[in-house]
């Protein structure tokens, strides 16, 4: 599987960072970043545009996989939908 890069035909839709403990239940402790890219629509001009960014420090479980009452992911999804409007 090769790397793919965004080009002038693409638009960055958003990005965020996931805590390292998010993958502990799969025996991996890595920090990761997400970038969402979408293809431009036919005839769409890019110019300047806003990009949604978020960081989730609490994801609903801890480093051992135990449930944790704090989960910022639903709030981030809600804010993303508000951003898109």
Q: 3-42: per-residue pLDDT in tens? A: 555 555 667 766 777 666 666 666 666 667 777 777 878 8
The Cβ of residue 22 has, within 10 Å, a number of other Cβ atoms equal to: 20
| pLDDT given at position 82 | 92
Domain ranges (residues) in the chain: 10-84
80: closest CA among 34, 17, 14, 33?
Answer: 14
Q: 39-63: per-residue pLDDT in tens? A: 878 887 877 878 888 888 888 887 7
User: Residues near 2 by Cβ (< 8 Å), separated by ≥ 6?
Assistant: none
Would the pLDDT of 68 be above 80?
yes
DSSP state of 20: G
């Amino acid at each position: 599987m090769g790397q793919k890069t965004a080009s002038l035909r693409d638009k960055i839709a958003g990005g965020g960072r996931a805590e390292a403990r998010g993958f502990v239940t799969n025996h991996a402790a890595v920090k990761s970043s997400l970038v969402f890219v979408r293809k431009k629509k036919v005839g769409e001009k890019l110019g300047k545009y806003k990009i949604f960014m978020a960081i989730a420090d609490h994801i609903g479980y801890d480093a051992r996989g135990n449930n944790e009452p704090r989960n910022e992911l639903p709030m981030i999804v809600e804010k993303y939908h508000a951003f898109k409007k």
